[in-house]
Amino acid sequence: MAAIVEAARAQDWSKHLGVQVAAVISNQPQAVGLAWLQEHAVFSKIKTEVLDHTEFESRAAFDQSLMARIDVHAPDLLVLAGFMRILTPAFVAHYHGRLINIHPSLLPAFAGLNTHQRAIDAGSKFAGATVHQVSVEVDQGQILAQAVVPVLEGDTAETLAARVLTQEHLIFPEAVAAFFKSQAVSHPTK
């Protein structure tokens, strides 16, 4: 999230792409991203909100409430940056074509959790990160961008994760910007 917010400011997305980061909504009251935004006053125009999923009786009830909170901002794109919950089909359908996520593997390999250890255990020579459209099937949507990182001899899940994370911070903002550039080409008056 921080990499996207910083890229939006540094590359002046408002001027060059006609977009801005409007809000950050977290399901975790102690999310690091929320604290980061509070510490960086330059981003004070970004609205923040917490919607704690543990206060809802079901995943569907949480997703309905989350959709209502998101829709207030009328987003052109919804970016899942550190959001670690499986979304209901209704949620995914509601934001079809404008919902993206990043996953710490070279999808379709190692979808789901524990990706780095699984890559090491499988003897993979390469790992990486994938930005993808969100689909109902977890980590199976259209691939938008990937970055490759070598798996080094002696790597642990932690050391590999750290190298992959540096690439995530590069490709996620690039993929967000590319989304809006493609929209401008598809809809020149927008």
Whether 103 sits among the annotated catalytic residues: the reply is: yes
CATH number at residue 127: 3.40.50.170
Q: DSSP letter string over the chain?
A: -HHHHHHHHHTTHHHHTS----EEEES-TT-HHHHHHHH-GGGTTSEEEE--GGGSSSHHHHHHHHHHHHHTT--S-EEESS---PPPHHHHHHTTTSEEEEESS-TTTT-SS-HHHHHHHTT-SEEEEEEEE--SSTT-SPEEEEEEEEPPTT--HHHHHHHHHHHHHHHHHHHHHHHHHHHHHH-TT-
How many distinct structural domains can be found in the chain? 1
Q: Tell if the pTM clears 0.85, that is, is over it.
A: yes
Catalytic residue among 16, 94, 96, 103: 103
The string of pLDDT tens digits covering residues 118-168 is 999 999 999 999 999 999 998 999 999 999 999 999 999 999 999 999 999
pLDDT surpasses 70 at 189:
no
Q: What is the pLDDT of residue 190?
A: 44
Show the domain range for 65: 2-186
The string of pLDDT tens digits covering residues 53-95 is 999 999 999 999 999 999 999 999 999 998 889 999 999 999 9
